[in-house]
Amino acid sequence: MPKVMIPTPLRQYTDKKDSVEVAGATVGEILGALTATYPDLKKNLYNDEGKLRSFVNVYVNDEDIRYLGKDKAQVAATDTVTIVPSIAGGR
């Protein structure tokens, strides 16, 4: 099963896990299964229209899904999916 890396700010929604294995053949299936298992995570990843929030970046083996077909990007059982929320701030 593909491994999903959970960033520190979102671990509070995944029982403090830094990674979880989730079944799925596409990024959409994997994120759907992830949010079904951890429903509180959904509001942090998706907007009210059900689209991935603009400040949430997702990568499959370090490749941005925006260039791989977005939620239709194929994921193999040995792949790693990484969720990276953008963080603003500073001076």
How many angstroms separate the CA atoms of 42 and 56, rounded? 12
Q: What is the mean pLDDT of residues 62-77?
A: 95
Q: Which long-range contacts (CB under 8 A, 24 or more apart) does 19-23 make?
A: 22/81
Handedness of CA 50, 28, 17, 81 (dihedral sign): negative
Are 38 and 83 in contact by the 8 Å Cβ rule? The answer is: no
- Going from the N-terminus, what domains does the chain have, and what CATH number goes with each? 3-85 (3.10.20.30)
List, for residues 4-31, the tens digit of each pLDDT value.
Answer: 999 999 999 999 999 999 999 999 999 9
Task: Summarize pLDDT for 43-58 with one digit per residue, the tens.
Answer: 999 999 999 998 999 9
Does the global pTM surpass 0.85?
Answer: yes
